[in-house]
Copies of this chain bind each other. A is one copy, B any other.
Amino acid sequence: MARLEQETKKKKPFDLPSQEVVLNVLRSNELFQHRFGQLFREFGLTQPQYNALRILRGEGGPLPCLEVASRMIAVVPAITRLLDKLNARGLITKLQDDKDRRVWNAKITPKGLELLAKLDAPIRDMYRALCGHLTKSESKQLVSLLEKARDRVSSVTL
């Protein structure tokens, strides 16, 4: 793996620093996601499915569907279908709220917890294999720069 120009056989150098930043983020993501996708598939999950389960495990109790969606980047219709599938597989339950009958609360099941538990170690290993070669100081710096890079996203309008 090397510079983005080489990886993509780009002919002209980047003329815009911000362009180079964005494209490097996208590229890094693609590579990381690809690896995690393979790992999840071995356990019969996809990344969004894993994320939803992880969020529900982190929460402990039931969580409205839209709240799950907002903690992922997911758009609403995607969450409906995703949670329905997890529900169909018995990894979560989906129950109508007593107080507000518009709300459906998702909750991870013991079966879901069990599956997640099996994934914990391999995922830790994957994190380390992918980025464990960065020093602590580099990691900190990278995270902090990415946070700063994301800083303006919400204020960008079309």
Residues of A that sit less than 8 Å from B by CB: 1-4, 8-12, 16-22, 24-35, 38-39, 42, 55, 58-59, 71, 73, 124, 126-134, 136, 138-143, 145-154, 156, 158
Contact = CB atoms under 8 A, between A and B. Distances in A.
A2 B148 CA distance: 8
B142 A146 contact: yes
A25 B132 CA distance: 14
A18 B156 contact: no
In the complex, the count of this chain's copies comes to 2
A33 B23 CA distance: 10
Instruction: Identify whether the interface residues of A are mostly helix, strand, loop, or mixed.
Output: helix
A74 to B, nearest CB: 9
